């Protein structure tokens, strides 16, 4: 039986990245993307559900014209280990052939999800395809994948907040953090 608090902040052991640090970095990334794609139009696709908050903040600091779409890929389920299998559960609706595409991810861990999605989109013949991730965990990589844009590099630890979950919890934290130890022992995972 889990002992979760009624307030999600109380289940947090350590804040890794504050709201202010994230806000500043997201604004920088938006400015960089606006410069790199000046004079072009962009299709910005985010990976559900984890990248939703990063995406919402990021696109508001991009000034070139964009269209948005989303894709859902089956990931870890409720454990912290990669299953290695990727399945598309919800596809994009926008035709991307001949378009400049930016794929927005929350975190790159083994790299399996993104390398699968990159290959999937490449087959649709976009004019260009780049990847942005809020967090990069390079030491956990199983396939070679270097993001075109990266917010922050983190160590090999499981982090939550700002869209990222553990067993579907903690997405609503406005910062990136590590939960208290008892959270990992929760037997009531969905």
Residue number with CB closer to ligand IMP (37 or 135): 135
Restricted to residues 148-177, the positions that interact with ligand IMP (CB under 6 A) are 158-160, 164
Site for ligand IMP in 96-135 (CB under 6 A): 105-114
Interface with ligand IMP, residue 70, by CB under 6 A:
no
Q: Which two tokens stand for residue 23?
A: 């806000």
Catalytic residue among 57, 106, 109, 136: 109
The helix/strand/coil state of 31 is helix
Cα distances (angstroms) measured from residue 23 to each of 46, 73, 122, 151, 180:
18, 26, 31, 10, 25
The contact mask relative to ligand IMP for 2-41 (x = CB under 6 A, - = no) is ----------------------------------------
Task: Report whether the peptide linkage leading into residue 49 is cis, meaning its omega lies within 30 degrees of zero.
Answer: yes
What CA–CA distance (Å, rounded) separates 77 from 58? 26
Residue 111 CB, nearest approach to ligand IMP (Å): 5
> CA 162 to CA 82: how far, in whole Å?
20
Residue corresponding to tokens 């999937």: 120
75 near ligand IMP, rule: CB under 6 A? yes
Closer of 75 and 100 to ligand IMP (Cβ): 75
H/E stretch holding 21 reads: helix 19-36
**Is 109 one of the annotated active-site residues of the chain?**
yes
Binding positions for ligand IMP, rule: CB under 6 A: 50, 75-76, 82, 105-114, 158-160, 164
Catalytic residues: 109
């Amino acid at each position: 039986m889990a002992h979760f608090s009624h307030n999600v902040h109380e289940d947090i052991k350590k804040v890794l990245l504050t709201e202010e640090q994230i806000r500043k970095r997201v604004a920088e990334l938006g400015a960089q993307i606006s410069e790199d794609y000046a004079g072009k139009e962009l299709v910005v696709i985010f990976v559900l559900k984890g990248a939703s908050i990063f995406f919402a903040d990021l696109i508001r600091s991009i000034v070139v014209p964009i269209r948005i779409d989303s894709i859902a890929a089956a990931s870890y389920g409720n454990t912290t280990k990669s299953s290695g299998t990727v399945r598309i559960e919800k596809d994009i609706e926008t035709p991307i052939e001949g378009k400049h595409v930016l794929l927005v991810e929350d975190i790159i861990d083994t790299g399996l999800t993104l390398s699968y999605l990159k290959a999937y989109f490449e087959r649709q013949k976009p004019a260009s395809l780049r990847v942005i991730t809020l967090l990069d965990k390079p030491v956990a990589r199983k396939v070679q994948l270097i993001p075109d844009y990266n917010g922050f590099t983190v160590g090999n630890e499981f982090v939550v907040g700002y869209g990222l979950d553990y067993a579907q919890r903690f997405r609503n934290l406005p910062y990136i953090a590590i939960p208290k130890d008892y959270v990992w022992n929760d037997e009531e995972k969905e």
